[in-house]
């Protein structure tokens, strides 16, 4: 069916990104809650139409590791994209202090399975693997969103990209590969950084201050590769991340080798015993409590 704004009741704002707002909405004809993402673009009608057409492929993207797509349309110069509402939000909000290894293993397993599905079933490179694009629901499911299905949209976003925290692989920064600098291996690099951030609660490169954007780029290309802290995570976990973060893209494992890695094999075996829905609900409640009572300034010592 065709989806339009008239069928949607706007509920609260779920978050804001570089290109627009994501709202929770109620789709009246199906009586379903959805998330509606707005992407502001300076494009002509033909390009917008092209994007909507290309997004249609998403109707085929049915996987437990991919956020369901419901439909897309445009109004003036905004593309609207409606998807499954994930009631615990994105990973960046759920692990300010990191997560324990069994939870990390389950998350990594879902993300790698989702990335493999995109590649094998739809021949898609994600292009934007990072904690804000990994969503969680209160059933403990972990799913990917915001992957690059539409060539037209990819190009237009690339033209306006102003990112600061960079999950970009070194070869993309130096422009060494591919017609648009993207290969499947670049996603594996971003996966490695994402796992460290989820594990520790911190993006592994320094991010403070404007001048540091250049320092950060320099650190990614020339600096030492980040690692999982060996005192809190197993050798298998550290080894897995180290393989993802090889500066040489050709040496990074493909998704099947990642799934065959002992760490994910163990995670898959242990998954039935990990209470992911309890973790998701507790982490989401902690997020809500933090956003309602922002930490007060600690008073100066007497
Ligand atoms: P960027 O613009 O740099 O890619 P982003 O991924 O945070 O950052 P958006 O994709 O616009 O930006 O999403 C904004 C926020 O909305 C996300 O961080 C996430 O917390 C929330 N969000 C997005 N999609 C959903 C969804 N389907 N269900 C619930 N929350 C969502
Ligand atoms: Mg996003």
Ligand 1 neighbours (beta carbon < 6 A): 14-19, 22, 35, 37, 67, 83-86, 89-90, 132-133, 135, 145-146
Average pLDDT over residues 143-150: 92
List pLDDT tens digits, range 32-54: 999 999 999 888 999 999 999 99
List pLDDT tens digits, range 52-105: 999 998 988 899 999 999 999 999 989 999 999 999 999 999 999 999 999 999
Which long-range CB contacts under 8 A does 250-258 form with residues at least 24 apart?
Answer: 250/185, 252/185, 252/188, 252/189, 253/188, 254/184, 254/188, 255/112, 255/115, 255/116, 255/119, 255/188, 256/116, 258/112, 258/188
- Looking at residue 164, what is its pLDDT? 55
- 150 C-alpha to ligand 2 centroid (Å): 15
Rounded distance between C-alpha atoms, residue 15 and residue 257, angstroms:
35
Burial class, 76, CB count within 10 angstroms (exposed 0-12 / middle 13-18 / buried 19+):
exposed
- 114 C-alpha to ligand 2 centroid (Å): 15
Q: Which two tokens stand for residue 142?
A: 């972990």
Query: Catalytic residue at 128?
Result: yes
- Looking at residue 21, what is its pLDDT? 95
- 260 C-alpha to ligand 1 centroid (Å): 30
Tell me which of 128, 146, 187, 246 is the catalytic residue. Answer: 128
Residue nearest to atom 15 of ligand 1 (CA): 15
- 95 C-alpha to ligand 2 centroid (Å): 17
Rounded distance between C-alpha atoms, residue 13 and residue 117, angstroms:
30
- Quick one: which atom of ligand 1 is closest to the CA of 163? 3
- Looking at residue 106, what is its pLDDT? 98
CB atoms within 10 A of CB 129: 24
Q: Quote the pTM value.
A: 0.93
- Looking at residue 171, what is its pLDDT? 84
Residue nearest to atom 10 of ligand 1 (CA): 17
List pLDDT tens digits, range 156-215: 887 776 555 688 888 887 776 555 667 899 999 999 999 999 999 999 987 665 556 778
Q: How many angstroms from the chain centroid is the CA of residue 34?
A: 18
Residue nearest to atom 9 of ligand 1 (CA): 17
- The residue among 235 and 153 whose pLDDT is bigger is 235
Assess whether pLDDT exceeds 70 at residue 232: yes
């Amino acid at each position: 069916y065709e989806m339009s704004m008239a069928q949607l009741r706007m509920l609260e704002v779920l978050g804001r990104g570089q290109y627009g707002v994501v709202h929770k909405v109620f789709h009246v004809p199906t009586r379903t809650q959805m998330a509606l993402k707005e992407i502001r673009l300076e494009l002509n009608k033909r390009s917008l139409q092209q994007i909507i057409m290309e997004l249609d492929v998403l109707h085929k993207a049915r996987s437990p590791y991919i956020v369901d797509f419901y439909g897309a349309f445009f109004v003036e110069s905004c593309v609207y994209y409606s998807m499954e509402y994930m009631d615990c939000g994105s990973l960046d909000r759920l692990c300010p202090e990191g997560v324990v290894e069994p939870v990390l293993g389950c998350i990594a397993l879902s993300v790698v399975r989702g990335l493999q599905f995109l590649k094998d079933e739809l021949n898609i490179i994600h292009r934007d693997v990072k904690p804000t694009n990994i969503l969680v629901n209160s059933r403990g499911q972990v799913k990917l969103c915001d992957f690059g299905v539409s060539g037209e949209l990819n190009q237009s976003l690339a033209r306006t990209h102003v990112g600061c925290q960079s999950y970009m692989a070194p070869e993309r920064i130096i422009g060494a590969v591919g017609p648009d600098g993207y290969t499947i291996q670049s996603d594996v690099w971003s996966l490695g950084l994402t796992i460290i951030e989820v594990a520790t609660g911190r993006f592994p490169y320094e991010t403070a201050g404007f001048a540091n954007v250049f320092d950060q780029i320099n650190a990614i290309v020339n600096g030492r590769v980040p690692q999982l802290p060996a005192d809190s995570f197993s050798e298998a976990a550290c080894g897995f991340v180290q393989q993802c973060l090889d500066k040489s893209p050709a040496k990074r494992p493909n998704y099947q080798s990642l799934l065959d890695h002992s760490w994910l094999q163990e995670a898959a075996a242990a998954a039935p015993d990990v209470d992911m829905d309890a973790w998701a609900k507790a982490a989401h409640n902690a997020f809500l409590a933090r956003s309602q009572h922002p930490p007060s300034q600690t008073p100066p010592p007497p």
